Amino acid sequence: MPDQLNRQKTKRKPRPPGPQRERTDWRNNKIHPFFIKLAGQHKKIVQLSRSGSAEDRLESQRLIRNGPAEMVEEARRVADEFRNSGKKFHGSISTIFTIDERSPASPDVSDEDYMLAWFAWNRYGKTFKQLLAEDRNGLRQSSMRVVVVNRDYQRWRYGELDPEKMKFKPDREHQVMLLYGLNFGMESLSPEELADCFDELCPCGKTHFPDNLRKLRRRVTQFLDANASRG
């Protein structure tokens, strides 16, 4: 009988909680301070979206589209700082939500454009622009996906669908954290540092596996690089 049939499967255990192991110094000159603020804002949005109050849930949607003025201003300063230093940018959030070269914060990006992009990314891990291109090229699966994304948008438009209550196969919550963080030092963290960073900042409130986050970071980076190469 082959050896592997005699092996017992081992169940992976989560990392020991804080007091039982030494925490990494993931903040020290690795993560940009602005990301800490950004992650705090993201956590606030998630908490509002999960509230039993309809007002809170509407506020979460408003904050997604219109962040606090001081944070928007600081984001501009940080972007200038990065440009002046010659730092290479990942496409990040803009890769997903940019419509015809317009950023998601542009006033002329409509709710329709934004939400179509949101549904496409969260359902299928692709931009809506990418799905449309594949549809035009005769890829049947993408054609069906365009139909589903448009259906989701129409249901949201008429108040029949709350996006934050939707369940998606992709690991959306952790993907978003990585997409925000890749321009701010998260790409340079070791797996253990990455897990400690998520333990502190991620709104899911769970203990994170270093290897799972390492693999997810690789997939997200590959997605961004592939979209950048499409030009």
Question: Domain extents for the chain?
Answer: 96-167
pLDDT for the residue 159:
84
Query: Could you tell me if 149 and 113 are in contact, meaning their C-beta atoms sit under 8 angstroms apart?
Result: no
Radius of gyration from C-alpha coordinates of the chain: 20
d(CA 31, CA 186): 6
Q: Would you say how long the chain is, in residues? A: 231
Return the HEC string of the chain: CCHHHHCCCCCCCCCCCHHHCCCCCCCCCCCCHHHHHHHHHHHHHHHHHCCCCHHHHHHHHHHHHCCCHHHHHHHHHHHHHHHHHCCCCCCHHHHHHCECCECCCCCCCCHHHHHHHHHHHHHHCCCHHHHHHHHHCCCHHHHHHHHHHHHHHHHHHCCCCCHHHCCCCCCHHHHHHHHHHCCCCHHHCCHHHHHHHHHHHCCCCCCCCHHHHHHHHHHHHHHHHHHHHCC
pLDDT for the residue 76:
83
Q: Identify which of 126, 132, 131 has the alpha carbon closest to the alpha carbon of residue 95.
A: 126
Q: What is the pLDDT along the chain (231 residues), one digit of tens a residue?
A: 434 434 444 444 555 544 455 778 888 778 889 888 888 888 888 888 888 888 998 888 788 777 788 888 888 888 788 888 877 666 555 555 554 444 444 444 577 887 888 888 888 878 888 899 999 999 999 999 999 999 999 998 888 888 767 777 657 778 878 888 888 889 889 999 999 999 999 988 889 999 999 998 988 887 777 665 555
pLDDT for the residue 106:
45
Whether pTM > 0.75 for this model: the answer is: no
pLDDT for the residue 112:
83
d(CA 217, CA 228): 16
pLDDT for the residue 102:
42
First to last CA, the chain: 53
